[in-house]
Amino acid sequence: MARRLVLAVGLALAVAATGAAPAPAQPAAPAVQADSPALRQARAFLQALTTGDEASFLKFVAENVRQPEEMTPDQWRDMRPNLAKLQFHAVASATPTAADLLVYDGLREGWAHLMIKVQAEAPYAITGFGIRLGGRPADVPAPPKLQPAALAAATKAKADAAAAKELFSGAVLVAKDGRPIFQQAYGLADRATRTPVTLQTQFRFGSMGKMFTAVSIMQLAEAGKLDLKAPIGRYLPGYPNPEIAAKVTVENLLTHSGGTGDIFGPQFDARRLTLKEPADYIALYGARGPQFPPGARQAYSNYGFILLGRIVETVSGQSYDDYIAQHIFKPAGMTATGNAPETVRLPRRAVCYMREKGLLKDAADTLPWRGTPAGGGYSTAGDMLRFATALTGLKLMNKASLDKLTTGVLTAPDGTPFRYDFTSRTSEGRLYWGHGGGAPGMNGDLRIFPDNGYVVVVLANLDPPAAQSLASFISDRLP
């Protein structure tokens, strides 16, 4: 379905470098075989994807791909233009059943990994396919570091070019020490009425809302109202699955290491308009057991942040929306951010446009009923800067709590460190605070750089990685 396609392709291109999910632990010395069935299939897939015509690519897919949950021909067709400018650079790793190719994405002007898994026996059909952002290889020169005026000019040129190709529609804001050095709007907020995007346009932001949930949890911990090490059953009495209640801690949820799973899929699609509060999600998914022993590894969990939102409610005695409005939005001066239901008319809220069969269409029938603790709300570029300013100015929590949020680590039994889902690194290795997010017709990124006082905000009403690729471009050129 469209949601699966976007998450598998669009978000995967951005997730590793935007904080949208914790990066998995990487092996110290990846295996590289000069030739293997997986490597041959990966090269053949890349060639079919980037050369020839659409019919030949679909023929390759039909003959060689055997995924457990296969995409339809229409979905493969829609995916191809997004990845048609991938260029092979090097083999990152290769075994008989898995290959990882480092590629350059000419469309987004960034580095990525094309990952292929195959069956162990002939004909070695492809059973797994993925794309994630990668860092610049050592044999490629680094992007230039630009001072404010030059950075603003480069940002404008990049955004202008992306908007001209309909690869970007949204708002861009770059600030230094709280003052914007560049801010501009692009594209249409509503294509039916030809309403242009402005800097006051409210964009749905996907998983960026997880920032507000994490801040809420840290505020309550700072106030002594909850223990990050405590099992969630302490704060969710009567939770349907006793193993989750007893073994998954608040900190597991903050680090996506609880094994609590996702919310999207057939159940969500069938109940999308009836899931209105965190408790509704627990009623639907709460009986599930953990996907793996809590704390053993990481797997991105939207449901885990739904649980954190419900904990905010039970500990504070307020609804999730009331809590974040009072304790985050009000002190930060954020007047255009919220989780109001889709049934509430907000004149400045942009329409989400997803790409289907090569055309842009309204993504309304994929949206949740309202924003949740896992994301899906809306904001403006200006409000995101206000949030960043309030956070770094210690208006939302004290320094000890901020340090915990941005440096906190949960260590797995094997010694693997799991960071809180509030920090990441650019493809050039620079640390930032914030979060990215996206789904059909929405994409956003907030990056707060504590080392140089820059804040980058990009919001878009198009599929990922419309905003995140631009945020990466800007981040890699910061002085």
Render 110-174 in DSSP notation, one character per residue: EEEEEEEEE-SSTT--EEEEEEEE-PPPTTSPPPPP--HHHHHHHHHHHHHHHHHTTS--EEEEE
For 148-210+330-475, CATH gives 3.40.710.10
Tally the C-alpha atoms within 13 A of residue 267's C-alpha that lie toward its C-beta. Answer: 14
Low-confidence ranges of the chain (pLDDT < 70): 1-30, 32-33, 68-70, 108
β-bridge partners, 317: none
Q: Counting Cβ atoms within 10 Å, is residue 348 exposed (0-12), middle (13-18) or buried (19+)? A: middle
Best CATH choice for the domain 31-133 from the list 3.10.450, 3.40.50, 3.40.720, 1.10.357 = 3.10.450
Give the span between the Cα atoms of 206 and 210, in whole angstroms: 9
Specify the amino acid at residue 327.
H
pLDDT for 426 equals 84
**Cα separation, 220 vs 236, whole angstroms:** 15
Give the Cα-Cα-Cα angle 370, 308, 285 (nearest 5 degrees): 70
Q: What is the pLDDT of residue 20?
A: 36
> pLDDT tens, 173-220?
999 999 999 999 999 999 999 999 999 999 999 999 999 999 999 999
Under 8 Å CB-to-CB from 254, ≥6 apart: which residues?
A: 214, 217, 228, 308, 408, 410, 420, 421
Question: Tokens 């998914």 — which residue?
Answer: 285
Q: Tell me the domain boundaries of the chain.
A: 31-133, 148-210+330-475, 229-320
> Rounded to an integer, what is the distance from CA 105 to the centroid of its chain?
19
SS (H, E, C) 239-263: CCCHHHHHHCEHHHHHCCCCCCCCC
CA gap 102, 138 in Å, rounded = 12
pLDDT value of position 68: 56
pLDDT of residue 134: 79
CA proximity to 108, closest of 134, 129, 126: 134
Within 10 A of 333 (CB to CB), how many other CB atoms are there? 13
Distance between CA atoms of 42 and 63, rounded to whole angstroms? 14
How many CB atoms lie under 10 A from the CB of residue 192?
8
Phi–psi pair at 455, nearest 5 degrees: -130, 130
Reported as a single tens digit per residue, the pLDDT across 217-269 is 999 999 999 999 999 999 999 999 999 999 999 999 999 999 999 998 889 98
CA 421 remoteness from chain centre: 11
Q: Which percentage of the chain shows pLDDT scores above 70?
A: 92
What whole-number distance in Å separates Cα of residue 252 and Cα of residue 250? 5
Look at residues 337, 218, 217, 339 and name the one whose alpha carbon lies nearest to residue 276.
339
pLDDT at 375: 95
The pLDDT value given to residue 10: 41
Residues with Cβ within 8 Å of residue 172, at least 6 apart in sequence: 155, 159, 182, 183, 184, 185, 186, 381, 457, 458, 470, 474
